[in-house]
Amino acid sequence: MRFALHKLFPLLFHLVLMGCSGVLLLAAWSPYADPRSWWPLAFLGLTFPLWLLIVIFLWIFALLLRSKWIVLPTLALIGSWKAIRVTVALPHLSSATEDTTRPVIKLISYNVHSFAPYHNRPDPRGKYGRAMLQLIASQQPDIVCLQEFFTSDHPRLKQKDYKTYISDSLGYPYRYFSSDYNGASSTSHSGVIIFSRWPICRAGKIPIIQHPHAESLIYADLVIKQDTVRVFTVHLQSIYLNQNDLMQIEEMKQGNDTAWRASRPIWSKLKRAFIRRSEESKRVKQALQQSPYPFLICGDFNDTPVSFTYFTIAKGLQDGFVKCGQGLGATYYSISPTLRIDYILADPNWQFLHFRRIPVHLSDHYPVVAELQLHSPIHP
């Protein structure tokens, strides 16, 4: 019996090593598979951080055992390098050098959840909304890009006219608002918005998918001294998880078998969202490629870095988090501590100087802030 166990353990260990290494590679390469045809792989990409952690643990265990099979997790980690690089920001040995002859542009991107508290907590006095506005003001950005933005022009709801307040009281005289959908009274409006301290010479709205509550891709061309730059912001297809879904996810994380068996509607929502974001990401990329100016794009992509959405949009671009961030950089905390779904990306004409997220629990997202410079003057 002892002899059988002695033989069985190495066999099981090698099978686990082989299986987990293979799954890690599949997850790492899943962003190259369009969810419209290969949607199961999109679920695998979502779990990439978990498989990465498992394979690192197995690699350490194999090293301690001095097993020749360590080559399997080693090759899997090497083959997953690109996915690792966009998931975990490694320590930076040197920082970017600021050009004192060029203006530093500071941008904040924030999904403000309609200025309502996360998990839809009661907020009759609007203190969460005021706290979000104070947070934005404290950062003193030049450009403010907000998703799930809400504003009202109803005479009785003057305190919720956030569009005018941010322009007049926070000092952003230039703005462009998508106003994608209105409330029942037609006096409340939601969508994505760009505020700027720099003049806007042109702006536009690009619908990217048909959905009753979809938000558009918008852009604004800003005149910054002698340069013109284009700033995009977008909120891609949400999963639309309700409170029951979130409660069920919490029960699933605690190992509740009943919750797992009843989770089919959640997986269906995820599948639909993966497919719709596939279509949206291609349209976003097309709009970026048509920009006549150096551009930035920021917003809530509702997808992790190891996804078809991110790989499609970010191809050929710089990611502020990868350039200057640290750790996992999660920006959405209601479901998992590994979900980085809010981004600030730039074309190669830019240089990131600083990037950080602000871990404050107001909305269900954390805001992200970047400071950038153009490499050289580009005239309109």
* Ranges of each domain in the chain: 2-87, 105-374
Task: Please state at what angle helix 35-46 crosses helix 48-65, rounded to 10 degrees.
Answer: 50
Tell the residue number behind the tokens 């305190």, with chain if given.
159
Cβ-Cβ contacts under 8 Å for 307 (sequence gap 6 or more) = 30, 31, 42, 45, 46, 277
Per the rule left: phi > 0, alpha: psi between -120 and 50, beta: everything else, 148 is left
How far apart (Å, rounded) are the C-alpha atoms in residues 180 and 332?
23
Mean pLDDT of 17-33: 96
What strand order describes the sheet that includes 295-300?
200-206, 217-224, 227-235, 295-300, 342-346, 318-319
How far apart (Å, rounded) are the C-alpha atoms in residues 180 and 312?
24
pLDDT at 267: 67
Average pLDDT for the chain: 86
Q: Which residue(s) pair with 234 in the sheet? A: 299
Q: How confident is the model at residue 119 (pLDDT cuts 50, 70, 90)?
A: low
105-374: CATH homologous superfamily?
A: Endonuclease/exonuclease/phosphatase (3.60.10.10)
Tell me the pLDDT tens digit for each residue of 143-175: 999 999 988 876 566 668 899 999 999 999 999
DSSP 8-state code for residue 321? H
Q: Model pTM?
A: 0.89
Tell the residue number behind the tokens 């269900």, with chain if given.
364
How far apart (Å, rounded) are the C-alpha atoms in residues 329 and 286?
27
Instruction: Check whether 286 has a pLDDT greater than 80.
Output: yes
What is the helix (H) or strand (E) element at residue 194, kind and residue range? Answer: strand 188-196
Instruction: Check whether 349 has a pLDDT greater than 80.
Output: yes
Is the model more confident about 299 or about 379? 299
Mean pLDDT of 274-288: 94
Q: How confident is the model at residue 1 (pLDDT cuts 50, 70, 90)?
A: very low
Q: How confident is the model at residue 105 (pLDDT cuts 50, 70, 90)?
A: very high
For 32, the token pair is 């190259």
Kindly tell me the sign of the dihedral angle through the C-alpha atoms of 267, 268, 269, 273: positive
Instruction: Check whether 362 has a pLDDT greater than 60.
Output: yes
pLDDT at 144: 98
230 exposed, middle or buried (CB, 10 Å; 0-12, 13-18, 19+)? Answer: buried
Q: How confident is the model at residue 243 (pLDDT cuts 50, 70, 90)?
A: low
